[in-house]
Amino acid sequence: MPQLDVTTFPSQLFWLGVCFLTLYGILYYVALPKVARVLESREKTLEEKINKASLYREEAETLLAEYEAALARARSESQEKSRAMARAVSSELAHRQKEFLGKISDRLRMGEQELFRARLETGSHVKEVSRDVAQVILEKITGRPYSLEELEK
C-alpha cells in the first residue's frame, strides 16, 4: 500500500504545509476581502435603494394626503356655494310670493269695494222701481194719478 511508505511522509507533509499556507495567504489577503467587498457594496446599494424607495413612498403619501385635503376643501366649498344659491333662490321665491299675495289682496279689496258699490246702486234702484210700481198700481186701483209727494207719505 503506497500510503504506508514512510519515506514519502516528510515530502508530503512539507508540500501540504507549503500549499495550505499559500492558499490561506491568498484567501486571507486577496480572495476573501474581494468577495466581502462585493457583498458589502451590494448590501449598501440595496439599502440605499430601499431607503430611496421608502422616501418616494412617503412623498407619494404626502401628495395623496394633500390631494385628498384639496378634494375635501373643494367639496365643502361647492356645498357652501350650492347652499348659498339655494338660500338666495328661496328668499327670492318668498319675496315674489309676498308680492303676489299683496297683489291678490289688493285686487280682492278692489273687487269687494266694487261689489259694495254695486249693491248700493242696486238698493236705490229697487226703491225707485218699487215706487214706480206702487204708483202704477195705485193709479189703476184709484183711477187717478198720484204724485210722488203723495206716495212718499
Partner 1 sequence: MHDPLHQFEIHSLIPLKLEGVDISFTNSSLFMVLTVALITIFLVGGMSRGKLIPGRWQSLVEMMYGFVANLLDETAGFKGRAYFPFIFSLFMFILMGNLIGMIPYGFTFTSHIIVTFGLAMIAFCTATLVGFIRHGFRYLTLFVPQGAPFYMLPLIVPIEILSYLSRPISLSVRLFANMMAGHTMLKVFAGFTVILGVFGIAPLAVNTVLTAFELLVAVLQAYVFTILTCIYLHDAIHLH
- Interface with partner 1 (CB under 8 A): 1-5, 7-17, 19-20, 22-24, 26-28, 30-32, 34-35, 37-39, 41-42, 45
Could you tell me the smallest distance in angstroms from the CB atom of residue 77 to partner 1? 51
Compare residues 24 and 100 and give the one whose CB is closer to partner 1: 24
Assess contact for 135 and 146: CB atoms under 8 A.
yes
- The minimum distance between CB 57 and partner 1, in angstroms, equals 23
Q: Taking the complex as a whole, how short is the minimal distance between the CB of residue 6 and partner 1, in angstroms? A: 9
CA–CA separation, 142 and 134 (whole Å): 12
Are 138 and 146 in contact by the 8 Å Cβ rule? The answer is yes
Q: Considering the complex, state which of residue 30 and residue 148 has its C-beta at the smaller distance from partner 1.
A: 30
Task: List all residues 6 or more positions away from 2 whose beta carbon is below 8 Å from its beta carbon.
Answer: 8
For the bound state, the minimum distance from the C-beta of residue 51 to partner 1, rounded and expressed in Å, comes to: 16
For cell 385635503, name the residue: 69
> What is the Cα gyration radius of the chain?
62
Cell numbers representing residue 67 in the block = 390631494
Residue 30 or 141: the one with the smaller Cβ distance to partner 1 is 30
Cβ distance to partner 1 smaller for residue 23 or 136:
23
